Amino acid sequence: MKKNLFYLFALICSMSLFTACSDDDDAPDYSKAIESEIAGDYKGTLDIKLEGTTIASGLPKNITISKAGNSTINLLLANFSLMGMDLGDIELKDCQLSQKDNLYSFTGTQSLNLAKYQLTADVKAVGTIVEGEISVQLDIAAKLNGASQNVQVTYTGTKMSGNESSEALIKTFIFDSELVTEQPIINNETGIITFRVSDVATDNDLKALKPIFTISDKATVSPASGVEQNFSGTNKVTYTVIAENGAVTTYSVFVVGKNTVLSYDFEEWETVAGSMYTDQIYKLPIGGPWGSTNDGVTSIKGLMGYSVPDWAQSLKYAVEPDTDAKSGNTSVVIRTLDTVLPGNASGVQDMFGIPRNTAGSLFLGTFSTDMDDKLASTKFGIEYTGGKPLKFSGWYKYVAGETYRNDRGEIVADKIDKCDIYAVLYEAVDENGQEITLIGGSSKEENKNYVITDSPYVVLKAQLDDKGERADWTYFEIPFSEMNNKSFETNKQYKITFVCTSSEEGATYNGAPGSTLLIDDFKILTDVK
């Protein structure tokens, strides 16, 4: 506490010494030198020692020197504030100059009695100005409640041209870390920068974060960009930006909260058997449970294995692992398949209800072929017990197939296929306490409220806007929006899913065979419950 008070006192004194300077009526005329060499604004710093021990160094401070008379100058520190206290303007008037060669000197003494801080002090100061450089040495004999302490202050500064930039801002501030779930938000009015991190981040993790940031042109900053800082616990890191003209802006940077992240990297896969034809197997990512149209493809392959075996055997699956990955070794490729039976098998196709186009889809949930209501084969959603979903993000690539066809296999001229990617949170039980499971579609009127695209049970949704082709890996980050005038409630039961399909209208068997969607590194960001 004593050191802190003397530190405060030393800063005050370093600005207050200029209230008393020597005056000599017989001094020579330095008017030209004052006007051309001395008068102006100076950018500088303070170094402070208490009993010979450095307690502060490089503190940025500016002063203004103006002409008072033919041989006198005024020194001003305007709008000085410290630790939230406004100390007003500190001013030195009619300070007498002396000269030796090109060096100008001045001296000053001051006796202070600051009852507010219970401090008294005798200050002795010696200052020099030479070729635009100013230096002031202070010796302060101070007493705090009768206890004596010696404070030494050095101020050095350089005269400015007047054309220096006054901007001292942090322009951008980011972390290249997966632990940071919400990149920093800069508030230049308050000088506060906040960000959020994953709830799995440890204190050691947060002590090793390295922010990368940019500042105003010609400004300087401390600490520097790219330097490891401690953001653990309630710790706040202070950044000081100094403009070219010496104006100072300080920023306080800290973690404002934590999020839970549901991550899906699609690196590991497992073999799954078809629900109707268990001898038909395919692969799905580990970490679901997952539903996909692969199960529907197994039904087609199983049914047609008797009448058109070669065609059935050669039919690819709609969802498979792929080595074209954004990160790691594996992504997911999702295709729209041409499932028109060869030859004169249209009667067989209609008899078994085999679609002409089979759009690939992958989603959180299950797929089980429903021969009575094929559109209802997709069962979306898994139990969700976390906090409010905030953002849905990931990477994708997309190429549309050449020829768009309707559910009868007829070509639709001038129509280009689109993909679809969206995430949904929905109520898991209805008003009667019955479990709800949303589906991709239905031919039955009684199921219309359970179709995911129009269900009144949907609470939050995040959907990709631009569903067109992307030749390169493209990042998306979509905030969840409230649906059906509903909002997230922590005491309710919910299910969550995300859905990816290579044909936007694939649920009704419309699309372009050959449409190909690749996805990788999906995340759902949520509040910590």
Question: Helix, strand, coil proportions of the chain in percent (round to 5)?
Answer: 15, 50, 40
Residue 16 binned pLDDT confidence (cut-offs 50, 70, 90): very low
Instruction: Single out the residue of 290, 348, 349 nearest to residue 319, CA to CA.
Output: 290
Domain boundaries, the chain: 2-159, 170-262, 265-527
Which pLDDT does position 117 carry in this prediction?
63
**Tens digits of per-residue pLDDT, 387-434?**
999 999 999 999 999 999 999 999 999 999 999 999 999 999 999 999
Q: Are 292 and 275 in contact (CB under 8 A)?
A: no
Q: Are 55 and 44 in contact (CB under 8 A)?
A: no
**Per-residue pLDDT at 17 exceeds 60:** no
Output 87 or 161, whichever has higher pLDDT: 161
Q: Is 7 helix (H, G, I), strand (E, B) or coil?
A: helix
Which pLDDT does position 345 carry in this prediction?
65
> CB burial class (10 A; 0-12, 13-18, 19+) of residue 99?
middle
Angstrom CA distances, 454 to 348, 365, 390, 438, 446, stand at 33, 18, 21, 10, 14
Question: CA–CA separation, 186 vs 248, rounded Å?
Answer: 17
> Averaged over 260-279, what is the pLDDT?
93
Angstrom CA distances, 141 to 6, 91, 110, 128, stand at 11, 21, 11, 22
Write the CATH number of the domain with boundaries 2-159: 2.40.128
**Per-residue pLDDT at 2 exceeds 50:** no
| Average pLDDT of the chain, as a whole number | 88
- Best-predicted range by mean pLDDT (24-33, 54-63, 91-100, 186-195): 186-195
**Per-residue pLDDT at 374 exceeds 90:** no
Question: CA–CA separation, 411 vs 401, rounded Å?
Answer: 12
Question: CA–CA separation, 428 vs 365, rounded Å?
Answer: 13
**Per-residue pLDDT at 116 exceeds 70:** no
- What CATH architecture applies to the domain 170-262? Sandwich (2.60)
265-527 fold: Jelly Rolls (2.60.120)
**Which strand (E) or helix (H) includes residue 475?**
strand 470-479
Per the confidence metrics, is the pTM higher than 0.85? no
Which pLDDT does position 179 carry in this prediction?
94
Output 120 or 450, whichever has higher pLDDT: 450
Which pLDDT does position 275 carry in this prediction?
85
Which pLDDT does position 8 carry in this prediction?
46
Q: Hunting for tokens 């303007």 — which residue is that?
A: 89
> What whole-number percentage of the chain has pLDDT above 90?
61
Q: Is 126 helix (H, G, I), strand (E, B) or coil?
A: strand
Residue 85 binned pLDDT confidence (cut-offs 50, 70, 90): very low
Which pLDDT does position 417 carry in this prediction?
98
Task: Write b or e for each residue in 137-163: b if 16 or more Cβ atoms lie within 10 A of its Cβ, otherwise e.
Answer: ebebebebeeeebebbbbbebebbeee
DSSP annotation string for 141-209: EEEETTEEEEEEEEEEEEE--S-------EEEEEE--TTEEEEEEEETTTTEEEEEEETT--HHHHTTB
**Per-residue pLDDT at 88 exceeds 80:** no
